[in-house]
Amino acid sequence: MKVVAITGGAQGIGRGIALRFAKAGYAVSIADRAADAGAELLDLLAGQGARASFAVTDVADPKSVEAWLAQTIRDLECPTVLVNNAGFMIRKPFLELPLEDFDAVIATNLRGTFLCSQLVAREMAKRDIHGAIVNIASTRAFMSEPDTEGYTASKGGIVALTHGMAMSLALQRIRVNSISPGWIETRDWQYAARSGTPQHSRADREQHAVGRVGTPEDIAEACLYLAEAGFVTGQNLIVDGGMSVKMVYAE
């Protein structure tokens, strides 16, 4: 059985990934801090006829991740694909950013990616599963706005961690790749009580070479490709509608 484990899977991009993999025939295990959103997604997956499991999980906490992985193996089977999607941003002026805020972002976004990858890869290796790990990075690994240092550093670290793990896990035939999303609209992919209707101006759309803002489905399709692309490892796939390569002139 094909099993995908997704961190931060209850809302936004993670929710899109979960629904797309379920449609492709995967059993789905979700880790997220949001209990209500996780329960709602389980209902949606059940409506698709998918096997699914959910656990409230803090990806920066080894015991929490261990409990989620044990539940996944018990309820489904060992993951054949791991998508490290959990992450968040704290935006504060650089000169006033408390160290604990910087550390908190690094702990979830970067340490969480390492921790979940290590624990899942150990279980894959025990069972001789030639699996795949997909890490969600960001175009902010390569370009920045002011006052986003923790997030930017974590996403840059994920890109580097990806090619490092790809080489370290090559003997186990576990492939590791990352995706760097650009502007992905997620307001309509949140828990129902917090969902909103996106509104994008013409200028918003025209920042992108493809003429629109991205959606969680765009990232989900890229994840599914990397999960099953057997000759691709150690790569970072930019999925941003051409935004990061389009020259923009101030008027």
Q: pLDDT (tens digit, 9 = 90+) per residue, 50-72?
A: 999 999 999 999 999 999 999 99
Annotated active-site residue 249? The verdict is: no
| pTM of the shown model | 0.95
Query: Measured on CA atoms in the order 27, 106, 222, 188, is the torsion positive or negative?
Result: positive
User: How many domains does the chain divide into?
Assistant: 1
CATH of residue 13:
3.40.50.720
Quick check: helix, strand or coil at residue 217? helix
Query: Phi, psi (5° rounding) for residue 26?
Result: -85, 145
What pLDDT shows up at residue 223?
A: 98
Name the active-site residue from 26, 151, 191, 249.
Answer: 151
Q: pLDDT (tens digit, 9 = 90+) per residue, 76-133?
A: 999 999 999 999 999 999 999 999 999 999 999 999 999 999 999 999 999 999 999 9
Count of C-beta atoms within a 10 Å radius of residue 128:
8
What is the domain range of residue 126?
Answer: 3-245
- Is 203 part of a structural domain of the chain? yes
Note whether 188 and 15 are within 8 A (CB): no
- Is 251 part of a structural domain of the chain? no
